[in-house]
Structure 1
Amino acid sequence: MDTLAIPTPNRPVDATVEIPGSKSLTNRALLVAALAQGDSILENALFSDDSEYFAKCLEDLGIPIALNSQLAQVQVSGKGGEIPNKQADLFVGLAGTAARFISALVALGNGEYRLDGVPRMRERPMGDLLNVLQAGGVNINFEGNPGFMPYTIYGQGFAGGHVRLPANQTSQQLSALLMIAPYAQQDTIIEVEGTMVSQSYVKMTCRLMADFGVEVTQTNENLFEIKAGQRYQARQYTIEPDASNASYFFAAAAITGGRVRVQHLTKQSSQGDILWLNVLEQMGCQIYEGDDYTEVRGPEQLQGIDIDMNDMSDLVQTLGAIAPFATSPVTIRNVEHIRYKETERIRAVVTELQRLGVKVEEFADGLRIEPSAITPTAIETYHDHRMAMAFAVTGLKAPGIVIKDPGCTAKTFPDYFTRFFQMLEN
């Protein structure tokens, strides 16, 4: 399907929805389960392009994976830090987590591992992680620009020790190092240089590592210590619903003055994007929390907000998509790093808002969106799942919105539009 028209209901949304498992937690759990010894069962795992690329890479490395999409269950037969296959050609698509986590994993192996992805993945930053691996004794051969895919990693174990890593463009490289550090040859101290973006994702990584039996000591905001010799313990583990993907359903309640309840997701989530609930509350929504659900009820009209979204930057598009309906301007700050995501996200949001007739100002690390009448148009999605999912929400309030390339949501939420339209049927 090349395009998809979004229906505009004449009433507030009123629905209870189920959201698939978190991409971020699924991919982290896949990595640590692969490093554990024995069989782990991941329940409510996400089945999407990103997670399936990750699982395929693990299989290509000789780590048995059993997928059951009907039960949303993955069995990983971990090899205790060993990588059975001594040679593999690994393709990660556009999956940044797979690219960074698999690159770190194969450094522990004893073999030759080539990694590549789609053209956009070849433009995304990898160099800071690779520099640390090289300093730790790993040889890497770059086929094109140093620091970018495609490249071949000649694994021979990771030395550990005191390493320095910038994390100003992505926190995924830091998470990758944290997760392999227990299997280093000596204790690892990771010193983050400069400003760290998306700190909530690093906290998620450390929490998941602890769930599998490995402790990280964080002595200050930028210093992490991981003792060598710790080992992940195989276990049964339930993945939380994806808070980032829940944001679109909560946003639907927000702009229609309706009610949406998301099952099995609460503010106790380990995912930083649960902070979206605070954003909506500041904009006038009411939030209700039960033992095993969260519900958002939207106001008659949203209020504007001026907000630092560094720690929930995957939600910039969600906020951008509902911002024109607020009573006053919405300003989003401190998210320059999203220019290096699946697409150049600040520019993409600005461009599509302008296409909708919205008055918007772009600056280096964010944007300012004015309350505006919406012009019917077709939204370019730039192969970016979050562009498609976010601007579908705009169509609930403004007639005539068409999403181009709706299939790009397969990256993290293959049946997004099925569930989105089911929400409107209630």
Structure 2
Amino acid sequence: MILCPKIDVPKQLEFDWVAPDKSLSHRSLIFAFLTQGVSEIENLLDSQDVRSTLEIAQLLGAKIEQRGERLLISPPHKLPAQAYLQCNNSGTTMRLFAGLLSGSRGSFTFDGDMSLRRRPMQRIRDPLEQMGALLSSSNAPFVLEGSETLRGICFHSSIASAQIKSAFILAALQANCESRYSEEELSRDHSERFLSHLGAQIIQHDKEILISPLSHPLPSYHFKIPNDPSSVIYLIVACLISHQMEIRISEVLLNPTRIQAFEILKQMGAYLSYEITLDGVEPIGVVYARSSELQAIEISSSISWLIDEIPALCIALACAKGVSYIYNAQELRFKESDRIASIVSNLLALGIEAEELEDGIKIHGGEFCDGVVQSFGDHRIAMSFALAGVRNQVEIVGSECIDISFPRFFDFLKFFVSYKGWK
């Protein structure tokens, strides 16, 4: 339980490092399995989710060596014939390793915590089984039987999901001929960018990608992971709803599919800007923000680019003038918690009028009152409602789940609000 009382804050803050990007941390470990030689990863996120990926990589035979801020990883010479893979709370770990291991002869048992066991895996089961792998169930725990003769296929996903797409890509790179993947809406594109940069033949045509099988292993790489915009968003919202505050954050990932939340805040009237300072595998740059008067908005498009940031955005919407609506966000019901229900329940607990819609949320902007909220075991719900402590006293029950993605969250948020009851 975390107690969040309101206090005065300094006027200006500058951060060089906040939290390394979680999506790129997972991928930088998993993609090493497709390479030859030793890859070097700098600034890997140290969180529960990424540790799950790291532990499975080691279990499968990858050689790992830590040298200060750098991690060296070499792919295994041979994968085990069978393994039990505990993914804990990480859907990315489960789905991407399932795609990777679909092309290997072996029997791999995938499991997770109670939250991950509830999350739908039929969405990766369908394409992977069409390619020649077998999955014993549509939910964890399940056994994946890989095949060394995967078929190239054409597959359309009705769900815009980077995890589904990445699992498909990893399997397709091991297939016997070209594969095609399309989706209703373009999802986040880290896998395509990263693997194409290494030489994989992945061609993007609007919402469709063409993937050619690898003819030889990819080269090893050196990759420095930038700040995670899905973590930076919490500091931005804290700044915007604070009084006379300015922040500057460097080394932020500015991939267009990851900064839609920044654009939404700008549409709400936020004083917020960003500048690309390095454009390599991913665009990286500086973000500036200042306390602002926010206006209500309707959010109904590019939801797949906002899915992790909507809980934090809802705190901004609760502080905005007017009534805001979020539509087409039914995917929120299939995350670590039913985020639509979790957000509405906590907003009501803090005196904000809110309504649960079938595919979204209706929020009346207002003033938070003191209150107690639940994390529902969901790290993004816990972090988002901690932001209400900028304005009022809030108790967060079950805040330990924050370690899943942003272990140093409270070290940064203390610049905006003082906490009691934590170390």
TM-score, length-normalised on structure 2? 0.90
Q: Tell me the CA shift for residue 422 of structure 1.
A: 4.1
What residue number does 1:408 align with? 401
What residue number does 1:218 align with? 204
Distance 2:101 2:78 in 1: 7
What residue number does 1:85 align with? 80
1:163 has 2:154 as partner? yes
- Equivalent residue for 1:5, pick from 3, 6, 10: 3
- Equivalent residue for 2:99, pick from 95, 104, 111: 104
Pairing of 1:47-62 with structure 2 (within 5 A)? 47-62=46-61
Q: Tell me the CA shift for residue 120 of structure 1.
A: 1.6
- Structure 2 gap segments, 5+ residues each: 278-284, 419-423
What residue number does 2:141 align with? 150
Q: Which moved more, 1:290-299 or 1:103-112?
A: 290-299
CA separation of 1:61 and 1:100: change in aligned 2, threshold 3 A: same
- Aligned AA (1:297): R
CA separation of 1:200 and 1:130: change in aligned 2, threshold 3 A: closer
Distance 1:318 1:158 in 2: 44
Q: Tell me the CA shift for residue 165 of structure 1.
A: 4.2
Distance 2:45 2:111 in 1: 22
Q: Tell me the CA shift for residue 244 of structure 1.
A: 0.3
1:368 has 2:353 as partner? no
What residue number does 1:255 align with? 241
- Equivalent residue for 1:305, pick from 297, 310, 322: 297
Distance 2:91 2:256 in 1: 17
Pairing of 1:169-184 with structure 2 (within 5 A)? 170-184=161-175
What residue number does 1:283 align with? 268
- Aligned AA (2:75): G
Contact 1:251 1:322 in 2 (8 A): yes
Q: Tell me the CA shift for residue 336 of structure 1.
A: 0.8
1:330 has 2:324 as partner? yes
What residue number does 2:178 align with? 187
Q: Deviations over 1:308-355 (max 9, x none)?
A: 250211111001122221111222222111110011011110111111
- Equivalent residue for 2:413, pick from 401, 415, 420: 420
- SS at 2:18 equivalent: coil
- Aligned AA (2:259): I
- Structure 1 gap segments, 5+ residues each: none
Contact 2:128 2:171 in 1 (8 A): no
- SS at 2:247 equivalent: strand
Distance 1:418 1:376 in 2: 22
Pairing of 1:374-385 with structure 2 (within 5 A)? 374-385=368-379
Q: Tell me the CA shift for residue 179 of structure 1.
A: 2.9
Q: Tell me the CA shift for residue 61 of structure 1.
A: 0.9
CA RMSD of aligned residues (A): 2.1
CA separation of 1:67 and 1:177: change in aligned 2, threshold 3 A: farther
Identity within the alignment, %: 24
- SS at 1:189 equivalent: strand
TM-score, length-normalised on structure 1? 0.89
1:76 has 2:52 as partner? no
Distance 2:206 2:320 in 1: 39
Q: What is the number of equivalent residue pairs in this alignment? A: 406
Pairing of 1:20-59 with structure 2 (within 5 A)? 20-59=19-58
- Equivalent residue for 1:113, pick from 102, 108, 114: 108
- Aligned AA (1:331): Y
What residue number does 1:293 align with? 286
